Structure formats: C-alpha cells, structure tokens
Amino acid sequence: MVSLSNHEVVASIPKGNPLKIAAIQMRSGLDPDANIAALEPMLAEAVAAGASYVLTPEVTVIFPENRDQLASVAAPFEDHPQLRRIGELARHYGIHIHIGSLAVPLPDGRFANRSVLFGPDGAIAATYDKIHLFDATIEGLNAYRESATYAGGEQAVTASVGDFTLGMSICYDMRFPKLYNALANAGATLIAVPAAFTVPTGQAHWHVLLRARAIETGSYVIAAAQGGQHPNGRATYGHSIIIDPWGRVVAELGHDEPGVLVAEISPELVTDARGRIPALANARNFALPGALQV
C-alpha cells in the first residue's frame, strides 16, 4: 500500500497480465449481518465467473438514515465482526475483496467512511478514508452537512492488485479530478469508485463523471453501486459500471437491482490510451495572477 501526500510521481508505463474484475451491486439495509449474508452468494457468483478482484458499494455493511442510527450499530474497526467474515471469504476464495466502505467510529464521536481492501491471504491490504465530504446549503432546501457525521480522510491510497495498481476513492470523490490525477501519477491503472448515488444525481452525472475520470487518467474505472429503495427511506441509482481507459463502457448493470458485473481488463489498453493521449506526461503547473500556484 502507498499513501500519497501532496507530491506527484510520474506514472510508469504499465505492463502485465489481464485481470478479471467484478462489481457487486447491493441494496444494503440496517442489519449488518443481513447485508453480509446478501453479499456472500454474489461473491460466490463473481468467483465462479473468474473474478480475482471484487468491489462492493459504499456503505456495504450498513446504510443508516441518521447519525444516531449509525452510532447504535457501528462496530469498532479492530476485530470488526463483519470484516472478519470478509477476510475469511477472501482467504477461502484466494481473491482480493474490496469492501467499498463502512462507517468506523472515531474518538470525536464522528465516523470515518472507510474503504477496506483484503488480499488473497485474508489480511487487510489497504484502507482508505473518504476525503471529500458533501456539505451544501441549497436555497429552499435544508442544509446537508456530511461533515457533522463523518470526518474526511487526508491520504490518497494506492495498492497492488495482480499486475494492476489500484487507486482508491469513494462516491463524492469522483467530482474532484485532482484526486484521480494524483492517483494516476502515482501509478494507478485501475480506479475504484464504490458509491451510493441518489437517483437524480445519478441520472444527470453518473456516467459522464466516471467516463471523464477514466479518460483524463487513462485508467480503468470500476464503480460498484447501491441501487433501489432502501429500508432507511433512501433511493439509490444503481447502474454499476466498468469503463476502459479510452472512456468506453466495458460492462454495465443497466438497472438498480442487486447483481454482479464481471469484465476482463488488460494493462495493454492503459498503455495504449496513455500513449495516444499523454495528458499525464504533458501536464504542467501554472500560475494564476492573484491566486496561489495551481
């Protein structure tokens, strides 16, 4: 695992073997054990299809309605019962299992929205805490403050998955290209975007943002989504998707029902896309009068 600070590293040309990956679409509820029980047969389906890396959505373990509801069930990260089970499954199948996120209690009473990657040995290979939090005041609507419940992370993270370098992100992060540029410059060739997108924003922005992140970084993007009407009253967009480095949709679940999406990806396509459009290599810092250096 590599944690990135503010410095940039120019990505090397990727080489290696193809990898079969899977995105699992869920409809997580308020019972952590029930959510993991619903996940297990879909993991088995992904493995049967040949996947050696499997991504689940944001808030896989529990999808709460409010902070009090979350606090009543969120377990400490150390010896977390549902994560312990996922580690057992990763070791049993001999694959990488990437839990898109779960809420982890912090000492200040808030939570980290944490993504957890397990290796084929069942051990945790990397963790990432969601950096960007949605705080907005919209005229005529109530203010939304994600930062009242969650604390934003401070480190971008990459990890090795087969012959790919995985860049980790979560949902709202996808609106911030600087993070994805940093991941790609640090060597990421596959970027994970577990999400729980609302229906209106999903219809408007889901495909275009994810395709843009793939195109501008010359990387594969895999986005595993929550979908449908949840017990907490929320409705999410679904449409889990895998996109290649040229911005083409390789595979998609065109609905909001639970399901498994599998595709094979190749490092050669990353090399080809970055060779044709060398945006990472051509990027330059510049000055904007009256502002800090960009």
Contacts of 83 (CB under 8 A, 6+ apart): 61, 77, 99, 102, 116, 124
Active site residue 171: yes
The answer for residues whose C-beta is within 8 angstroms of residue 239's C-beta and 6 or more apart is 202, 206, 207, 225, 227, 252, 253, 254, 255, 256
Q: Is 45 a catalytic residue?
A: no
Per the residue annotation, which of 40, 78, 88, 130 is the catalytic one?
A: 130
Which bin fits 8, alpha (ψ -120 to 50), beta or left (φ > 0)? beta
Cα(10)–Cα(121) distance, rounded to whole angstroms?
Answer: 30
Q: Report helix angle 199-217 to 177-185, nearest 10.
A: 30
**Cβ neighbours, 10 Å, residue 180:** 24
Q: Does an H or E element contain 221, and which?
A: strand 220-223
171, 178, 252, 264: which is the annotated catalytic residue? 171
Of 58, 88, 154, 257, the active-site residue reads: 58
Task: Choose among 201, 202, 280, 206: nearest CA to 245.
Answer: 280
Contact 225, 25 (CB under 8 A): yes
Catalytic annotation present for 65: no
| Euclidean distance between CA atoms 9 and 170, whole angstroms | 22
Spacing of C-alpha 257 from chain mean position: 19
Known catalytic residues are: 58, 130, 171
